[in-house]
Each structure stands twice: as structure tokens, then as C-alpha cells.
């Protein structure tokens, strides 16, 4: 069988994750890594495949079955998503929730124009957690779904702290409030504020002679990111930060508390504990790349979300799946 030929665009945490994990799937192979870096030789990668400049991507349309976009949602994907959809079948992890409908439309137009399939917003949230919210809420419509993130490192919040004057480096952990989780597990349907669901724990390495009091206050009062949460700030050295907070574990749960009959309670919970957030997210992207390829082989075009994908398309061996997993 011919393998599904995959390209990686962007070689950050996520790109390196795809590079590391694709070999776990015998039906897929990595064929090239695309980068904005100039000269491309300055990018050292682990895999033995060519490194190509993104501007030359169009020359690779007949050598790549699915391109996995591994850039960020803030700057990279808004520019790349639609452009690449014209050239390739594409997977991305666009995660700016509020802008998804608009992004979906733009990518859909391009993908149809190019005769390709794009699956957008793939990962664990949005992605796997979205699927869980859909299944749970559709099965038990009288109910409420709660999503908890953590304990894990939030890149966005860590970056926000790093932007503060006097901060050399920082890592921020998002942590679910155990009492909130327990109340929902036990069948309650509480209305919870942001503060009641998660706390934020920050490890900050300050520049020499920086005003720690001011830094702490700027963090705790930062709107959207921290002001709505109980936030703890710990100052530590750069070395400590690197040694003790250099990994990227994460996790979370989707919990649905629902009712049937008169007052019969049901609780559904999906929980993940991830040793490495980028390696897990990459694994989700890779398995949806398989689905994009299959849809494209059937002649379908346009943009899809994880909600549109028949689960069987994620499987390398469909017949075995029906036989063994049903």
C-alpha cells in the first residue's frame, strides 16, 4: 500500500511533535518540513527529509497528500489556512474559538477552489473535547457540560507574563478547583464563575533588581488573563524555572451532568492526563490527517470540523476496527 505522504509546515513544539509521532502510524510517512526561516539550511530537524521554504510550497502539491499546519492561531494560521487550502489537503489546530465560524468560511472557499479537503481546529480543545461535548450534550439534552483544563502549562498565559517589564521568563499552570469538579461529579449542576472553576499558578524569573511587587500586581490585575482568577505568583530563579518547569504536561476533563425520567441522574466524564501536550496534540492532528486524505480520495472538497468526520475515517484498518472495537 502507498503511504499517506505528510508535510509539516512550521517547526515549533507542534511541528516537532508531528515529526516525532508520525512514525507510530505505519500507513503514513513524513516527506518534507516547510519553514519561513531563511536560509532554510539554518533550520536543523531530526527527520531525514528536505527542509523547504514556505514560499516554494506550491512546487510540492503532487508530492504531498496532507499538509499539517503547525503554526499558531494568532499570527500564522489566519494567513496560512486559506492559502494552503488552495494547494493541499490541510489539517490545522486553529483555536481562537470566537473566530472559528469566520475562519471556517474562508478556508472552505479556498479548499473548494483548490479541490482539496481542510479539517480545521483539530487538537484536544478544540478537537477531542469538542467531540465529547457534542456526544454528551446530544445524548442527554437535559443537562449541563463543564470543561476543566489542567493541571497544565498554558502557553498563552506564560507568554502574557513574559511580556511584562522586568520578567526574564515565566511558566503558568492552569489548575481546576477540586471542589468544583467534585460537585459536578456527584451530580450537581452548579453555575460556576471563571474563578470558581480554575486557579492560576505562576512561576516567574525576574530580571535582576526588578520590582517584584509591581510585577506581581501587573500579573494579578491583567484583564482576561488573570484578573478573573485567584492567582498565585512565585518568584524563582531562571535555573529553577528551567529545571523544574521545563516540561509541558497538561490535562483536563469534560463532565456532563444530565437527567432522564423524572429526576434520574447520570454523569459522563472524559478526562485526559498528558505527559506532553504538544506530542498528544500532534497525535490528534496526525490521525485526522488520515481522515482528510480519505475524504479527498472520495472526491470531497471544502472545509470540515472534527464534528463532520465519520470516526471510522480516523482508523488505519477500518475492517479490523469494526470487528474488534465495536
Can you give the binding site for a copy of itself, defined by CB under 8 A? Answer: 17, 20-21, 24-25, 97, 100-101, 104, 121, 126, 128, 130-135, 137-142, 145, 260-261, 264-276, 279-280, 282-284, 287, 290, 305-312, 314-316, 321-323, 325-326
Alpha-helix residue ranges (DSSP H) falling in 53-96 = 76-87
The least CB distance from residue 56 to a copy of itself, in Å, is: 30
Q: Which is nearer to a copy of itself, 154 or 253 (CB)?
A: 253
Q: How far is CA 78 from the centre of its chain?
A: 15
The least CB distance from residue 100 to a copy of itself, in Å, is: 6
The least CB distance from residue 303 to a copy of itself, in Å, is: 11
Name the DSSP class of 202. E
The least CB distance from residue 2 to a copy of itself, in Å, is: 19
Cα gap 231→77, rounded to integer Å: 31
Cα gap 17→29, rounded to integer Å: 14
Burial of 147 (0-12, 13-18, 19+ CB in 10 A): middle
Q: Which is nearer to a copy of itself, 228 or 279 (CB)?
A: 279
Helix, coil or strand: residue 145:
strand
Q: Which is nearer to a copy of itself, 239 or 262 (CB)?
A: 262
The least CB distance from residue 61 to a copy of itself, in Å, is: 27
Q: Which is nearer to a copy of itself, 223 or 261 (CB)?
A: 261
3-state DSSP: the chain helix, strand, coil percent, rounded to 5? 40, 25, 30
HSE of 132, CA atoms in CB hemisphere, 13 A: 24
Q: Which is nearer to a copy of itself, 103 or 173 (CB)?
A: 103
Phi, psi of 5 (to 5 degrees): -90, 120
The least CB distance from residue 231 to a copy of itself, in Å, is: 27
Q: Which is nearer to a copy of itself, 75 or 324 (CB)?
A: 324
Amino acid at each position: 500500500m502507498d503511504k499517506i505522504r505528510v508535510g509539516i509546515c512550521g517547526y515549533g513544539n507542534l511541528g516537532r511533535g508531528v515529526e516525532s509521532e508520525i512514525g507510530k502510524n505505519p500507513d503514513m510517512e513524513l516527506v518534507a518540513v516547510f519553514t519561513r526561516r531563511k536560509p532554510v539550511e539554518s533550520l536543523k530537524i531530526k527527520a531525514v527529509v528536505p527542509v523547504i521554504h514556505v514560499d516554494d510550497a506550491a512546487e510540492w502539491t503532487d508530492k504531498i497528500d496532507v499538509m499539517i499546519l503547525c503554526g499558531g492561531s494568532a499570527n500564522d494560521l489566519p494567513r496560512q489556512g486559506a492559502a494552503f487550502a488552495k494547494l493541499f489537503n490541510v489539517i490545522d489546530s486553529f483555536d481562537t474559538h470566537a473566530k472559528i465560524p469566520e475562519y471556517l468560511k474562508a478556508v472552505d472557499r479556498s479548499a473548494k477552489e483548490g479541490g482539496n479537503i481542510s479539517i480545521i481546529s483539530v487538537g484536544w480543545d478544540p478537537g477531542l473535547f469538542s467531540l465529547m461535548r457534542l456526544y454528551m450534550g446530544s445524548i442527554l439534552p437535559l443537562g449541563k457540560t463543564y470543561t476543566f483544563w489542567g493541571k497544565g502549562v498554558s502557553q498563552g498565559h506564560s507568554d502574557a507574563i513574559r511580556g511584562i517589564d522586568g520578567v526574564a521568563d515565566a511558566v503558568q499552570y492552569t489548575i481546576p478547583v477540586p471542589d468544583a469538579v467534585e460537585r459536578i461529579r456527584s451530580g450537581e449542576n452548579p453555575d460556576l464563575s471563571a474563578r470558581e472553576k480554575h486557579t492560576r499558578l505562576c512561576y516567574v524569573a525576574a530580571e535582576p533588581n526588578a520590582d517584584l511587587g509591581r510585577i506581581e500586581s501587573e500579573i494579578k490585575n491583567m484583564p482576561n488573563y488573570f484578573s478573573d482568577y485567584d492567582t498565585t505568583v512565585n518568584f524563582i530563579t531562571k535555573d529553577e524555572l528551567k529545571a523544574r518547569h521545563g516540561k509541558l504536561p497538561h490535562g483536563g476533563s469534560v463532565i456532563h451532568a444530565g437527567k432522564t425520567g423524572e429526576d434520574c441522574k447520570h454523569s459522563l466524564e472524559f478526562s485526559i492526563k498528558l505527559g506532553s501536550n504538544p506530542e498528544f496534540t500532534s497525535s490528534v492532528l496526525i490521525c485526522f490527517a488520515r481522515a482528510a486524505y480519505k475524504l479527498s480520495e472520495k472526491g470531497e472538497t471544502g472545509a470540515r470540523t472534527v464534528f463532520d468526520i465519520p470516526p471510522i475515517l480516523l482508523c488505519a484498518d477500518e475492517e479490523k476496527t469494526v470487528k474488534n472495537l465495536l
